[in-house]
């Protein structure tokens, strides 16, 4: 068991990792002799193979990563002298004696980031006049600029949510990691359950659901368009057995499945006929080309026999063109076969997902995206079993308010709740604890609820028939 845990914590070739420097993240795949650009710097990840996740490395010459020495992890030596205030300090650009060329020379000499910071402190004429707080701020600023320490982390939901929210928040609809955590909790996502997921946040929500389930159960991804988007899901680096529990089904066939008019055999015939037509078109092309090639060769032979003065090299010069035509025809056939195989695999995946959805016994529904949620919820809730939770995320509250109203009118749901999460980071330091000045404006809105069995005979308006009863009873009591 110890070997398994150690192998699970070590970095291997082909693993997906997250590089971290300060508050900047980037997800990459570990490959030998492959250049990676991170913070405008070239890196090679060959030396991280075999190391533990969470290890910090120094960027050496040539872009190689080296494990830092223990003494380099200490902060630069700070001067005990400090000024009372900063009133006499003037930022005229002359306080630093080291020039840009001097700093580049120090880098060429092999000095590390923290050693360069120490040189900057010693050559600053105003450092001793600054207050203690200003000195710490100066050191932190210079370390961020010259310290080349990079930490290699294992991908997780929190880390990838931080990465996308910091670099490209528009791709995940400004979904914050605390909002995503609440979605997983309100949706009751756990191992062994059957969850329907609609995600247009680059696959981040889908990956979070798969990570929470741990490879046990079933995940059905509903996607718009031709192919599902799983860019963020691939960055999790899930093992192969995780993807065996993942199924996909297009939104364009949901209504057919609900109506019972979806025929997988018909779809199979249509796909096969389409492939046969494409194969027929491609197969005719090589036959025509072969026939034309034969006619051209026969014509050339006749002309060669009629005029013996013509050089025979002209006939041989046409042979490479004939080979190119044959190679093109072979390539077309191979593409057609590959297309046929892909369509067959896609059809099988749709069959498996349709078989799971036809039972209408899903354990939960999770929706997060930039589409209007009302039509999605009204159609996909029909696949969810009674007494099961559902959760919907949207960047704006107006679509969720409309969805809330439609669900109340439709019935079949209880415990409807529209909430907004609030997260604020605090800087906790001696004598200066306060909220961070820079923070996200909002983490979106969540609409959650629980499905219940709805009787079709009384679903038209049970509340209207029940309200007059207590009023009549009160009147009878007063008369008596």
Please state the domain extents for the chain. 1-154, 157-260+359-451, 264-346
Do residues 293 and 318 lie in contact, with contact meaning Cβ atoms separated by under 8 Å?
Answer: no
What is the 3-state secondary structure of 175-237? CCHHHHHHHHHHCCCCCCCEEEEEECCCCHHHHHHHHHHCCCCEEEEEECCCCCCCHHHHHCC
CB within 8 Å of 251: residues ≥ 6 apart: 198, 222, 223, 224, 376
Rounded mean pLDDT of 129-137? 80
Question: From edge to edge, which strands make up the β-sheet containing 24-29?
Answer: 24-29, 16-21, 149-153, 56-59, 65-66
- Check whether 261 has a pLDDT greater than 90: no
Measured CA to CA, the distance from residue 90 to residue 263 in angstroms comes to 78
Digit-coded pLDDT (tens) for 71-103: 444 455 444 566 666 666 777 677 777 777 877
- Check whether 473 has a pLDDT greater than 60: no
Digit-coded pLDDT (tens) for 291-304: 444 444 344 444 44
Residue 192, pLDDT score: 93
pTM score, whole prediction: 0.73
Instruction: Give 65's strand partners.
Output: 59
Topology agreement, domain 1-154 and domain 157-260+359-451: no
Q: Where are the alpha helices (DSSP H) in 113-176?
A: 113-122, 132-146, 157-167
- Check whether 160 has a pLDDT greater than 90: yes
| Average pLDDT across the chain, whole number | 78
Compute CA distances 253 → 203, 271, 317, whole Å: 21, 15, 54
What is the longest distance spanned by two Cα atoms in the chain?
Answer: 131
Decide which of 429 and 156 is more confident.
Answer: 156
Q: Please, which pLDDT band fits residue 319 given cuts at 50, 70 and 90?
A: low
Digit-coded pLDDT (tens) for 374-388: 999 999 999 999 999
Residue 456, pLDDT score: 53
Digit-coded pLDDT (tens) for 415-471: 999 999 888 888 887 777 888 888 887 789 999 999 998 765 444 444 443 444 444
Rounded mean pLDDT of 245-271? 76
And the tokens for 380?
């996909």
Measured CA to CA, the distance from residue 376 to residue 187 in angstroms comes to 16
- 477 Rama sector, left if φ>0, alpha if ψ -120 to 50, beta otherwise: alpha
Pick one of 3.40.50.300, 3.50.50.60, 3.40.50.150, 2.170.130.30 as the CATH number of 157-260+359-451: 3.40.50.150
Q: What is the CA radius of gyration of the chain?
A: 33
- CATH number for the domain whose boundaries are 1-154: 3.10.330.20
Residue 142, pLDDT score: 79
């Amino acid at each position: 068991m110890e070997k398994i845990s150690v192998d699970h914590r070590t970095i291997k070739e082909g693993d997906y990792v997250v590089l971290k420097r300060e508050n900047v993240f980037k997800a990459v795949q570990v490959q030998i002799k492959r250049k990676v650009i991170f913070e405008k710097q070239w890196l090679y990840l060959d030396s991280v193979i075999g190391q533990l996740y969470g290890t910090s490395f120094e960027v050496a010459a040539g872009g190689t990563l080296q494990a830092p020495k223990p003494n380099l992890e200490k902060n630069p030596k700070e001067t005990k002298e400090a000024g009372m205030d900063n009133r006499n300090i003037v930022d005229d650009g002359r306080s630093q004696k080291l020039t840009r060329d001097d700093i580049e020379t120090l880098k060429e000499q092999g000095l590390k980031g923290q050693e360069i910071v120490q040189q900057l402190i010693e050559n600053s004429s105003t450092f001793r006049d600054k207050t203690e707080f200003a000195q710490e701020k100066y050191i932190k600023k210079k370390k961020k600029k010259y310290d080349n320490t990079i930490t290699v982390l294992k991908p997780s939901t929190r880390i990838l949510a931080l990465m996308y929210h910091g670099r490209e928040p528009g791709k995940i609809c400004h979904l914050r990691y605390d909002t995503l955590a609440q979605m997983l909790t309100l949706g009751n996502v756990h191992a062994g359950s059957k969850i329907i997921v609609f995600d247009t946040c680059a696959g981040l929500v889908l990956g979070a659901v798969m990570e929470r389930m741990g490879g046990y159960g079933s995940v059905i991804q509903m996607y718009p368009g031709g192919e599902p988007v799983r860019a963020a899901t691939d960055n999790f680096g899930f093992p192969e057995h995780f993807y065996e529990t993942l199924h996909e089904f297009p939104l364009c066939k949901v209504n057919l499945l609900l109506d019972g008019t979806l025929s997988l055999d018909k779809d199979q015939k249509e796909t096969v006929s389409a492939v046969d037509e494409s194969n027929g078109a491609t197969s005719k092309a090589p036959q025509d080309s072969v026939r034309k090639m034969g006619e051209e060769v026969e014509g050339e032979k006749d002309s060669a026999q009629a005029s013996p003065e013509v050089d025979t090299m002209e006939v041989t010069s046409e042979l490479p063109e004939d080979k190119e035509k044959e190679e093109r025809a072979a390539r077309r056939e191979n593409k057609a076969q590959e297309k046929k195989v892909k369509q067959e695999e896609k059809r099988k995946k749709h069959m498996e997902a349709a078989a799971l959805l036809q039972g209408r016994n899903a354990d939960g529904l999770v929706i997060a995206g930039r589409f209007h949620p009302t039509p999605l919820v009204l159609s996909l809730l029909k696949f969810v079993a009674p007494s099961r939770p559902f959760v919907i995320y949207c960047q704006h509250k107006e679509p969720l308010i409309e969805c809330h109203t439609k669900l109340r009118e439709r019935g079949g749901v209880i415990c409807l709740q529209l909430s907004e999460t609030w997260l604020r980071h605090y800087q906790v330091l001696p004598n200066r604890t306060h909220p961070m000045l820079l923070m996200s404006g909002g983490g979106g809105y969540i609409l959650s609820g629980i499905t219940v069995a709805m009787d079709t005979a009384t679903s038209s308006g049970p509340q209207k028939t029940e309200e007059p009863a207590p009023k009549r009873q009160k009147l009878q009591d007063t008369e008596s």
